[in-house]
Amino acid sequence: MKSGDEIHELSYDLIKRAVHGEPEALAEILRIYEPYHTSLVTKEQVGADGKIHKVVDEDKKIMVQMHLVEVIQKKWRELI
């Protein structure tokens, strides 16, 4: 791990705060899952130059993030 990298921890306390609607906790969970969400919505396209480019579908990424927030507020609440 490079120096300066943050270590993200998905703790019970963080989940509990997010389930109860704390905006900072929800934002932290979204930050933790951001690399995974990006990987889910990234595709390769051949550009006009003939090279392959990776493109992130930002609309789909927002949909995935919104789904996570919904699951946190509804499904995870049943587990807490």
Q: What is the pLDDT of residues 24-51, one digit of tens each?
A: 999 999 999 999 999 999 999 999 999 9
Higher pLDDT, 6 or 79: 79
Q: Is the pLDDT of residue 15 over 60?
A: yes
Is the CB of residue 18 less than 8 Å from the CB of residue 65? Answer: no
In 3-state terms, what secondary structure has residue 46? Answer: strand
Tokens of 33: 């899952």
How many Å apart are CA 57 and CA 41, to the nearest integer? 6
Confidence of residue 1 (pLDDT cuts 50, 70, 90): very low
Please, what is the angle between helix 12-19 and helix 58-79, to 10°? 100
Q: What is the pTM of this model?
A: 0.77
